[in-house]
Amino acid sequence: MTYIWDWKSHFNNEDPKDIFDCFIAEYLLSDGRGIPEEEKTLEKYKVTSLDALGMKQQELFKELPQLYSLFSTIEVPLIPVLLSMEKNGITLNTQKLASLGLEVEKLIAEIQVKILKEVGYEINISSPTQIGTFLVDKLGVPLSKTKTGKFATNENELLKFRTDFPFIEMLLSYRELTKIKSTYIDSLISKVDEKSKIHTTYSQVGVNTGRLSSSQPNLQNIPVATEQGRKIKECFTASEGKILLSFDYSQQELRILAHVSQEEKLIQAFNEKKDIHKITAAQIFKVEYNSVTKEQRYIAKTINFGVIYGMGSFGMSETLQIPVEEADFFIKEFFTTYPQIKSYYDTYLKNAQVNKYAETMMGRRRYVFAFPGQKFMDNATKRVLMNYPIQGSAAEMTKIAMNKIYYEFLIEHPDVLMLLQIHDELVFEMDEKDKEYRERIIKGIHDIMVEACSLTVPVEVGVKTGKKWGELTPQ
């Protein structure tokens, strides 16, 4: 056994079975309290070598067999998978992206003219202080104040008043476009290599739920909700003579919620392949399933995912632009509709408070109390913890699938490359061969993802193919 600190940074084509990564081990053993440092970890265990550190960590793992299984069968084997994805990269059409950049520049200039005309005097649109003063003093927007006494002009604050003040809509559009231009368009073009490929870097320790994070550049956060964001995604293409394949877990987190809570209505809905959001809407609004309107379904969808992410009535009222009392009513109706979910969260939070840690399905742990001596959780902590087992279990499910695909399937199909992981979506590239071969590849990857983790409800994976990431066609 070779004991090493951060194998991903010192990879030399070793077999994962021969590696004990003290860095990943410490991250898991410390319940996600932060990214560990080698020197401080050696001091913590009162050792001077990685061999001694690794042996002490192995002793701790003996008391936590499920966590050790997560470490040895999921996290360490995943490292070569991530390195291969980083090396593969994805092709970026820089000409098309540069052209989009010019379009965005033009839109920014047009909005800037409108904003300055509305203001009536010279102002730095990018200055929160100057914009805050204008909004309050000139337009009468009742902005709240920050801890430093300045007017709050963050997006969540401004969204409260966008309906009553058209100027805010312009300001938000300006900010959105300038962010797209600098953070995505300019940044992506600067990071392309000589083969027109973009190579992101994945981290296993960036998010304490176990989700992978992506940086330099972040390809998990392309703003596809906007028109310009979708156009950016269209600039990512298959290499010449190849096609892209996208596999996306359908409602992965809601299915995991049904599994861990054993909520009968949710399980039945998934088994019958019904629309979960319509089911919730029908219950909350007391209407027939087939009579649910688009607006009612949208509200129900917000509630379904809001509960998973620990959203309170205040946050939901802001998201749906409704009174807090109405949002509170919707949340209560949700838990009345799905009593087993309420029971699950009550028990889970009680156990987390007693044990001082929360767990995912695979045994990943997250600390509950930040300071020694704490005994009770505040509402903010509860909201974070409510999401932890769902998002964390979903992340582990996807990682299991990635490992199985890499070690059991792709090794026999060298023309198929795993390029990207965007949480519940995996993107591949393969030679543009005959239809029969493509269907065999699709079925192989699809089946591995479906069978990666056994749930009470059926697991579904959507498949899309095409030449451009942003224009893939369902299969």
Task: Give domain 254-360+368-385's CATH superfamily.
Answer: 5' to 3' exonuclease, C-terminal subdomain (1.10.150.20)
Q: What's the whole-number average pLDDT of the chain?
A: 94
What are the start and end residues of each CATH 1.20.1060.10 domain in the chain? 94-195
Model confidence at 406: pLDDT above 90: yes
Contact 419, 85 (CB under 8 A): yes
Model confidence at 159: pLDDT above 90: no
- For residue range 245-261, what is the model confidence (pLDDT) as tens digits? 999 999 999 999 999 99
What are the start and end residues of each CATH 1.10.150.20 domain in the chain? 254-360+368-385
The encoded tokens of residue 158 equal 């401004």
Model confidence at 185: pLDDT above 90: yes
CA nearest neighbour of 270 among 294, 283, 254, 292: 254
The rounded distance, in Å, linking the Cα atoms of 179 and 112 is 14
Model confidence at 315: pLDDT above 90: no
| pTM of the predicted structure, to 2 decimals | 0.93
Q: Which CATH number fits domain 94-195: 1.20.1060.10, 3.30.450.20, 3.90.230.10, 1.10.3720.10?
A: 1.20.1060.10
- For residue range 209-265, what is the model confidence (pLDDT) as tens digits? 999 999 999 999 998 888 888 999 999 999 999 999 999 999 999 999 999 999 999
Q: What is the pLDDT of residue 167?
A: 95
Alpha helices in 272-407 (DSSP H): 276-285, 294-308, 313-320, 324-337, 339-355, 379-404
What are the start and end residues of each CATH 3.30.70.370 domain in the chain? 240-251+396-474
The domain made up of 240-251+396-474 has a fold known as Alpha-Beta Plaits (3.30.70)
Q: How far is CA 305 from the centre of its chain?
A: 13
Strand partners, 4: 21
Q: What is the pLDDT of residue 42?
A: 98
Model confidence at 203: pLDDT above 90: yes
Which residues 6+ apart lie within 8 Å of 7 measured at CB?
Answer: 14, 19, 21, 23, 24, 76, 79
Rg, the chain, Cα only = 25
